[in-house]
Structure 1
Amino acid sequence: MPDRQNASIPAAIADYRIVTLLGEGNHGCFYLAEAPARLGLSTDLVAVKVFAGQYSEDAYRRGVRELRAFAAVHSPLFVRIYDAALEADTFLYAMEYFPLGSLGSPAQQMPRGDILRALEDAARAVHALHEAGSTHGDIKPANIMVDEHGGKLSDLGLARVLNAGTRLTGMAPATSVEYIDPELLFGGAPSRSTDIWALGATINRALTGDGLYGELPLDQPMLAIRAVQSCRPRISPSLEADEAALVESCLAPLESRPPTAEAVADRIAALRNR
């Protein structure tokens, strides 16, 4: 039955009938929705991300181009994208729905081995994206979805694409700041290496629940950014020695990081299989 307890949840967006709110952040909301028949899907339910704010046709075209590039990699470790639309100046896209949630908000407590498996899958997905000539730009536990087989990578950093020309420091959501290579906050360009930094931060948080900078003020993005710019990241003491060594290598200076996300995935696999 659709959840209508929250009056702010719309009954429908475009031709998607909304069931309930799955989550929200600085750049928009995720809804559980009934898939329209035109998509011809074998599943009744999809997750729909609706970006906050109004977007132009140009922004819509940029977003669709990025989603197509993501989908064109054809990796089974990516969340499937079904549709994108511009509805009354609002950009949205529909994707695969994961009842088990994400590493950021799992539906149930996950054994450490399952967390490592999801992290490994995400790192291999990042490598596939890099080999296709793209970067992700928003790797974090909330964007690693969980199913019975492991993990799938979702939600490219589309905000930077939709808002072309906006500096990262002016648009980074506080929920992502912990996972952003400080080089980017000082004006650097997204790259394989900055995604590897994000993988290290994600491993630290997913395995321990600890943030590299403690708990940042999620309701004040600029304060969160200042905290990151003024502090050194602290690897969680809860990590085992070889886990901490992996995170440390991901956070190292650019020239000392693992050369590829695949190398990170192989080290996670070794941790999982020991």
Structure 2
Amino acid sequence: MSEHLGPYEILSRLGAGGFGEVHLALDPEGRTVAVKVLHPHVAADGVALARLAREVETMRMVGGAHVAEVLDASLEGSRPYLVTRYVQGRPLSAVPMPVTDLRRLASGLADALQAMHEAGVVHRDLKPANVMMTEGEPVVIDFGIASALDSLSVTASGAVVGTPGYLAPEVLEGRSAGVEADVFSFGATLAYAATGRQPYGQGPASAVAYRVVHHPPDLEGVPEWLEPLLRECLSTDPAARPTAAQISARLGVAPVSHVPRVPAAPVVRPRSAADDLSTKEWQPGREQHRRSVEESRARHREKVRRRWLIGSGLFVALLAAAAREPLTEVSLFLLAAYALAGVADAGVALFSHGIYRRSRMVVDFASVAGVVGLCFGLAAMFSTFTLALFAGTALVVGVVFLLSA
């Protein structure tokens, strides 16, 4: 009997990495997908999982021919997992070196880099092992996972967040790192593909890391058309590195609008014998792109704003109800302040041009009315001491949540 993980039928194990095991699986429609099941020490880290859950929505916005799109995720339960497009091929680290069609590789990696950065995703662990070669084209896998799971507890548990020799100097030195770190990794990966040698040599991780920070890369044998670009990408100063868009322009990669994918919800249906004989693959660019990147970001911002509005409203209602008898003026002040903030936010929405303008105004006025009604309802049902206890508990829980986030 085959194993199932959620709606996915596990077929075989493909490999393992620092964060989990990867399995070939079938989705409910019989398409091949790759399911990464997180290691137990990662699954046990609540902080890391919460961070990854927040990043998954952004990761799902990345699409294109040169990235393995994130299709689904389930980060609850005993076996949290991520589902990505299955890429059939070999990692760049396992193909003969140096790569013959270097320009094709460079162009594909530049396109993948631009797709990730346009969606606001930092790969953080771009290296030859995370570049799959399929029919001569590179496809970047595992993007965003290392960046999302880079927490002290996960690292201490044994996961390796990044690979020395491909990590940027600012990452190795513990400084803040952004998309510029991916550009460095892009340069190191291409240098390896062009020469067949590690650009910062081999040896203990500490020795390689020291050379990354203090020594220039070994670019002997890199073609003349590529060497100047790689030297800029491998600069120790993040500000001196080109952007993904600039790299694409210098390589002659045609601009592509990397609109976000909106995967359709899987439809569970009985599989027939024909499904067993011939499976279908996820193909990039074949789904209907219904929202642009900006629209998806606006949707995410609106969702976060509503959560804060409702959460703060509940807290204000508790405080105002607790203060209604002993401190009537304080109770009225809290309600008036919340109402003023709600009306002001509705006023801002009135003059904005966002796609959620009307719903934002409705939610603002509904929240103000709801807080006032909830305040009087709680005051009538509970004593002042009970309400004060509720408010104190809510304050402690809110502070803990903010610190953990």
Decide: shared fold, TM above 0.5. yes
Q: 1:104 aligns with which of 87, 93, 108?
A: 93
CA–CA distance in 2 between the matches of 1:55 and 1:124? 35
Retained in 2: the 8 A contact 1:100–1:147? yes
Q: What's the counterpart of residue 23 of structure 1? A: 15
Deviation at 1:203, TM superposition (A): 0.6
Aligned to 1:6: none
| Residue 207, structure 1, aligned to residue 198, structure 2 | no
Relative to structure 1, the CA distance from residue 190 to residue 170 in structure 2 (aligned partners, 3 Å threshold; closer, same or farther) is farther
Give the Cα–Cα distance (whole angstroms) in 1 for the partners of residues 218 and 62 of structure 2: 33
Q: Give the one of 54, 74, 89 matched to 1:65.
A: 54
Q: Secondary structure at the match of 1:94?
A: strand
State the secondary structure of the residue aligned to 2:163: helix
Alpha-carbon separation, structure 1, partners of 2:193 and 2:51: 31
Residue number in structure 2 paired with 1:256: 240
Gaps of 5+ in 1: 3-10, 217-222
Q: Residues of 2 paired with 1:20 and 1:172: CA distance?
A: 23
Matched to 1:254, the amino acid is P
Q: State the SS of the aligned residue for 2:81.
A: strand
Residue by residue over 1:204-238, the C-alpha shift from the partner in whole angstroms, topping out at 9 and shown as x without a partner, is 1122221122234xxxxxx4145312552432322
Q: Which residue of 1 aligns with 2:230?
A: 247
Following TM superposition, by how much is the alpha carbon of 1:122 offset from its aligned partner in structure 2, in angstroms?
2.1
Matched, 1:154 2:145: no
Task: Provide the C-alpha distance between the structure 1 equivalents of 2:110 and 2:225, rounded to a whole number of angstroms.
Answer: 17
Q: Which one of 6, 21, 25 corresponds to residue 34 of structure 1?
A: 25
Instruction: Give the corresponding residue for 2:365.
Output: none
More strand by share: 1
Could you list the per-position Cα deviations for residues 98-150 of structure 1 after superposition, in whole angstroms to 9, with x for gaps in the alignment? 222232334x889522x432332222222232233332211112222333372
Q: Does structure 1 conserve the Cα–Cα contact (< 8 Å) formed by 2:124 and 2:146?
A: no
Alignment of 1:45-194 (within 5 A): 45-52=32-39, 53=41, 54-56=43-45, 59-86=48-75, 88-106=77-95, 112-113=100-101, 115-148=102-135, 150-165=137-152, 173=160, 176-194=163-181
Alpha-carbon distance change, 133 to 82 in structure 1, aligned in 2, over 3 angstroms: closer
1:195 and 2:182 aligned: yes
Rg larger in structure: 2
Query: Deviation digits for residues 13-46 of structure 1, max 9, x if unmatched?
Result: 6244443332323333322x22131xx35x2x22
Larger relative helix fraction: 2
Distance 1:232 1:190 in 2: 20
The 2-side partners of 1:208 and 1:110 are apart by 5
Q: Which amino acid aligns with 2:91?
A: S
In 1, the alpha carbon distance for the partners of 2:97 and 2:26 equals 29
Q: How many residues align?
A: 247
Structure 2 residue ranges without an equivalent (≥5): 254-405
Aligned to 2:219: 236
Whole-Å separation in 2 of the counterparts to 1:197 and 1:149: 23
Q: After TM superposition, give the deviation of residue 71 of structure 1 in Å.
A: 1.8
**Structure-2 change in CA distance of 1:170 and 1:93 (3 Å):** closer
TM-score (normalizing by structure 2)? 0.53
**TM-score normalized by structure 1?**
0.75
| Alpha-carbon displacement from aligned partner over 1:133-184 (angstroms, at most 9, x marks no partner) | 3322111122223333722322124244235355979977387222100111
SS at match of 2:11: strand
The structure-2 alpha-carbon separation of the partners of 1:55 and 1:156, relative to structure 1 and needing over 3 Å to count, comes to farther
CA–CA distance in structure 2, aligned partners of residues 234 and 182 of structure 1: 12
Partners in 2 of 1:110 and 1:210 — Cα distance? 9
1:66 to 1:82, Cα distance in 2 relative to 1, 3 A: same
Instruction: Provide the secondary structure at the position in 2 that maps to 1:65.
Output: helix
1:194 shift after superposition: 1.4
* Preserved CA contact (<8 Å) 1:23 1:29: yes
Structure 1 stretches of 4+ with a deviation exceeding 4 A read 108-111, 165-172
Note closer, same or farther for the CA distance 1:136–1:111 as it changes in structure 2 (3 Å cut): closer
Select between 11-20 and 185-194 the one with higher mean Cα deviation.
11-20
- Amino acid in the other structure paired with 1:133: G
| Alpha-carbon shift at residue 196 of structure 1 (Å) | 0.9
Are the structure 2 counterparts of residues 269 and 235 from structure 1 closer, same or farther at C-alpha, using a change threshold of 3 Å?
farther
